[in-house]
Amino acid sequence: MMTGREYVESLKKLKPKVYFMGKEVESVADHPVLRPHVNAAAMTYELAHEPDYEEIMTARSHLTGEKINRFTHIHQSTEDLVKKVKMMRLLGQKTGACFQRCVGFDALNALYIVTYDVDKKLGTDYHERLKKYLLYVQKNDLMCAGAMTDVKGDRGLRPHQQKDPDMYVHAVEKTEAGIIVRGAKAHITGAANSHEIIVMPTRALGPEDKDYAVSFAVPVDTEGVYLIFGRQPNELRRLESFIDCGNAKYGAVGGEALIIFDNVFVPWERVFMCGEYEFAGELVEIFATFHRQNYGGCKVGVADVLVGATTNIAEYIGVANASHVIDKITEMMFMAEACWCGSLACSYEGYKTPSGAYMPNPLLANVTKLLITRFPYEWSRLAQDIAGGLLATCPSERDFKHPKIGKFVEKYCKGVAEVPTEHRIRMLRLIEALSIGAHLVESLHGAGSPQAQKIMIWRRGNIEAKKQLAKIIAGIEEDKYFKRITGKSEEEYFEEFMRKVKQAHK
């Protein structure tokens, strides 16, 4: 297993074509805007070597029996699923940011399950290909970016109906050696600082869309792959100061990129689906279940940091003992722990698939993610309420350190006398980074927007069974247990009941 430092050094050996603000990035590991995301991902490597965290950060490969980083593992039990979300919360606490590696992790697990199903039905050999690829990932402790979301173009049209066929990634040619693909994937977390990119279809597909039913893996620096690094709120502060960034060490969300596939060649041994359109929807749903499971872990870990920062700022300005402040911070913790309950529940209620791998309960995973589309907005609002207006108007680090006006910033931005002004400014900037902007957008749209979760909850909610429950309780349909309990049918029981009622009235 690599250490955090070794992971950073491994990135320097790659030559991906990454662009930011119209310029090509020479080294992802050395660029001041990208480096915080590298540091956050490095934490997934570094903590695996800490004795205190070894149990949740590592696992035993079911293929080799060797000790591996959990981010390269295929879940073999509900205990693995629980350890996964505990790992997510831990990393959220340690970075206060997105550590990016979970998307590729979920892609590997989803493909492990689906390729087994495809092979069983169609006689293909995708599952064996995936296992060989998995061995490669585990042996080299690689970070994989999971790439599912297509740019979609006109969302009222299916992939094959698009005026521009490249609005969804598709196979444009098949050869004896492999396939050639074209298209783009959007919002891909950690893409620039990954070793590999794992592509999956983004939606259920029909026969006319079979060219879009494609899944494969390529090294990040493959010929024809271009990564355009997305902008984030206040990201250029990283070029100006350290304190003003708020979380200069680890960034904010996951350094998302638009990935272009411009006639990219993929050898067959790295192709895990090509034309099997009837399995595209299954892959999307299983991947989404894995990814939505995570959010009550990682986002709650970040919320733990925000709760701590909010409590600190309350102490720094002398209001920590006010009853309404205590109530608001308690409310923040309540919402975070409610989301945590969701991640634990869907993990403990997970089940074994025919492939032998385990997956979370889909209904509860979607409930977890739907909570995350709501509660972070509320706990962020409460943090902003307690922090006060200086959260939005605080002078810059340059002003604070200015030889002439710095003394005024020091004097007039102070809270309680015992706390240095710089501490208050640093904590305000951290709250700003955690409660404003990209974190909230990612909470809403990461792993699918709220409507996607509602669709799955409706599908998985077993509404017909719930209707039946109501009909039985209302006496519209037979209650077999009631007759066992009373020894009478409902009609017989009702007649006897009414006789007793009349006698009671007399």
Residues taking part in catalysis: 98, 102, 189, 256, 291, 295, 298, 442
Residues contacting residue 472 through CB under 8 Å, at least 6 positions apart: 478, 479
Query: What is the spatial distance between Cα 26 and Cα 233, in angstroms, rounded to a whole number?
Result: 23
Which among 291, 371, 283, 236 is positioned nearest to 98, based on CA atoms? 291
Which among 179, 118, 173, 169 is positioned nearest to 148, based on CA atoms? 169
Concatenating the DSSP letter of every residue in 368-381 gives HHHHHTTHHHHHHH
Could you count the other beta carbons within 10 Å of the beta carbon of residue 207? 10
CB 106 within 8 A of CB 287: yes
Query: What is the spatial distance between Cα 246 and Cα 248, in angstroms, rounded to a whole number?
Result: 6
DSSP three-state, residue 179: strand
Note the residue count of the chain: 506
Which among 426, 440, 334 is positioned nearest to 381, based on CA atoms? 440
Sign of CA dihedral 165, 167, 171, 172: positive
Query: What is the spatial distance between Cα 465 and Cα 350, in angstroms, rounded to a whole number?
Result: 21
The first and second tokens of residue 67, run together, are: 């000790």
8-state DSSP, 75:
P
Q: Are strands 196-199 and 144-147 parallel, antiparallel or unpaired?
A: parallel
Query: What is the spatial distance between Cα 239 and Cα 245, in angstroms, rounded to a whole number?
Result: 9
8-state DSSP, 393:
H
